[in-house]
Structure formats: C-alpha cells, structure tokens
Structure 1
Amino acid sequence: MRVALFLTCVNDTMYPETGKAMVRLLRRLGHDVEFPAGQTCCGQMHLNTGYRRQARHLVKGFAETFGPYDAVVTPSASCAAMIRDWHPRLAPRTAGIASRVHELSEFLVDVLGVTDVGAYYPHRVTYHPTCHSLRMLRVGDRPLRLLREVRGIDLAELPDAAECCGFGGTFALKNSEVSAAMCADKVTAVRSTGAETLCAADNSCLMHIGGALSRTRSGVRTVHLAEILASTEEDPS
C-alpha cells in the first residue's frame, strides 16, 4: 500500500514533532509513509471565512498532490473531516481521493486492523474527543481502544468529555468570551482527573486548552495521540 502523510498547516508550522511521531509509528508497524512536498492547506480556514473560490482551488490542488496514493493519513480529525465532507461538494471530481483520507486512529484500527501498536507511556493520561472527530468523522472509541493497549499508561476518564473546548477555529476569535468560558470548563474537567497529560487527535484543540492549562499553572501537558502511540521504552516521548 502506498501511504501519504498529510501533515496540515497547524502541525507543519507549530507541531512538526507530531508528524515525525506518525512516521516513526507507521515504520515500526512495517509500513512506510511518503510526504508529498506539494501539499498545502485543506481549505478549511478559507471555507469557514467565506472564501469559497480560494478553498476550491486548494481542494483541486490537494487532489492532484495526493491522487497517486492508496491512502492518506493525517494527525488532524478536523482536516480529515473537511476533506471527506466538503471536498466532494466543492469539487465533485475529488470524491475518490477524499474517500481515501483517514485520521490516524481510523487508519490504524480500520485500515491496518491494529489496536496494540507496541507503545509504552508510563503516565496518567486523559483523552479529549475533539468536536470534528466526535461529530463529523464519528471515530467513536477508536482512539481510546488504542490508548487502552498502551503499556504503562494510567488512563483517566474525562468528565463531560463530549463538551466542546471552545476553540472552533475562527469561533475563538469572533466569540472570544464564550470561547474562554468553554475552555475554562474544559480545564476544570481535565484538572479533576489528576492527569499529567491531556491527549487528543487535534493539535488545534490541544493548543487552545494547553494555553489555558499553562496560564493556570496546572502542570498538565498536552500531547497528541500520535506521540503517545509512537512512544516506546527504547524511544520515549
């Protein structure tokens, strides 16, 4: 199977270690992954702010870049949802490639058929299911099934886990007070678990919650699911 990594804008700019973790993980599982240098944005930011024509241009570019691959895997449920849900609407001819795009937990569980990836992470962790993963991709318990197989982990249930963290891309800018209040509730829930680490499938949400965790000096760090799954006793995260 020829697999491509779609890293996304946020990860490429701010969280490149997440992409590196994905490559380590997939190689450990016996699969190689290519990084097409022509990749850009999925167009979500443009579409959400009304720039439909510019978004369509990016959609067509995405299809051209990733068309040759059997599968495309991404560390962003938000971007995967944009591609699978909106790309075929903006450019119907891209439906074929859009259907081959998978968020990491989907790819591991549904495509590769694995839940035990040989990870080791001896920390207390709580998991936040991001809105796009929960409501658009419907990944269900796939991330938790993967986390439960991680050796050494102490997995704590997050109260009111399905509640939004308040980020929502431009929502956090246009409705900053509401966003901050939602984030404060999420931080309270995270801190109540006694977790050392907050995990999610989207670094955009982790960035939002992590900022509040840092400002309140909680001592809780944020780590993408890929980095936990890539961690081993020999090569810890």
Structure 2
Amino acid sequence: MPAPQKGESSVNQPTADQPVIRNRLILSLRPAALEFLQKRLITRSMSVGEVIYEEGAPFTHAVFPHEGVISLMSQMQSGRTVEKASIGYEGFVGFALILGGGNAVSRSTVRIAGYASWLAIEDLDEALAEFPCVSDVMLRYSKSLITQLLESVACNSLHTAQQRIARWLLHAHDRVQGDTFYITQEALSEVLGLRRATVSEAWSQLQHKGVISYSRGCITIHHRQMLEETACECFHRIRGGFAS
C-alpha cells in the first residue's frame, strides 16, 4: 500500500477519538519541535500484511509507529524471506533518510496491527533544519537500529530456533498494549526464516510450560520472566540499545 499523501482520499481516516501519541522519538522532542510535528502528522491504523514500502521505493514519508510491529524484510532469489530488523513505538521507518539515502533498502511490512503517524519528507526536512533535537533523536535511533541489524546476524547464526522465537515474541510484547496480540505461525516462520513445523514445535513447548497460550493466530504471554529465560542474550542487548 502506498504511503499516504496529504489530502488524498486513499488515506485512511483517523479514528473518531484523538489517537494517543506513544512513539518514543516523538515524545522525546522538545515542546516546540513536538508542536511542529503534531500539526503535520497523519495518524491512521496499520493492518497486518500492509506494505509500507517496497524495497527500492522512494521515500515520501517517515513513518512513526505508536503500536504494532513493522518488519524490515529481505527476500532471496529462491523466494525465501527473513526479517532484518523490526520496528515499533521506539523508532521509525525511513532511517536511511538520516544517513543520506532516498530509497527504502528493505521491504517494510506490518507484522502486528496497530497505528502510526506519517510525516511527509518535506516536513521532516524542515523539522531537521529548524530543530536540532529532531536530528539528534533520529540519528541516535538510527545507530540503535544498525546495532539491531548486526545483532540479528549473530543471533541467526549462533542461537537456537526456540531462543530466536522467544526473543521475537518479547520484542513484540514490548510494542503492544497488553499481553495478547495476533501473529500466525506461518508469519513468524517467514520472519525468522524457519520452517513452520519448527515454529509450531517451539510454541507447543512454550505452551506446555505455561509460558504462552496460542489459538488461531492469537498469542497471549502468561509468564514473561520464563520467556526471557528462554530467549538468547540478544534480546537484552537490542532492548538496551533502544533504551540508551
């Protein structure tokens, strides 16, 4: 789905209630910068499977999630896919913009539904020029995202499927409100580059231990501490990078 444009009918309308700004980057801005952005943001829901950007597509907007998960995906010539990194309310889609790039380097797909704010590139450029705090927080996040990308390479090579699945579920849990969210085994197998049977077996083990429950795409985290004990050390490294 193309990025929304101001005034275009294709843009989903915001809900009747004023959407809550939860994105950490936006909330960390100084009052003047925050006011500037709030007047220009287009906030709407994100649906599972929605493509924010195709790989190579020119950026028209920076996208700031408030709830939900967006996956940055890489597709091989064989057709197999794997997630390079994931983005939630701690960040934004379009970090290449801060590094001087104008095109998406990955396909960004909504993995867990939620809502986000779109900011037109011309408005972002104006904010970057006028408010130093905007470039500061976005550059700091971009560095953290690069750390996540590098950590994911090591994680995919060294850690077990169950450890990686637990790590992904923990990151998702951090990015939604509540303990329940929707993701299918097929979707998670695509994200992690695993066979669906491998994901199913790992979830069965976690469910048997009382860590999670799962039914028809709906997963509930019952025992987060046990899930953290199952996950690899990469979870805390990545989470710590975004918190710094």
Q: How high is the TM-score relative to the length of structure 1?
A: 0.29
Higher fraction of strand? 2
Q: How high is the TM-score relative to the length of structure 2?
A: 0.28
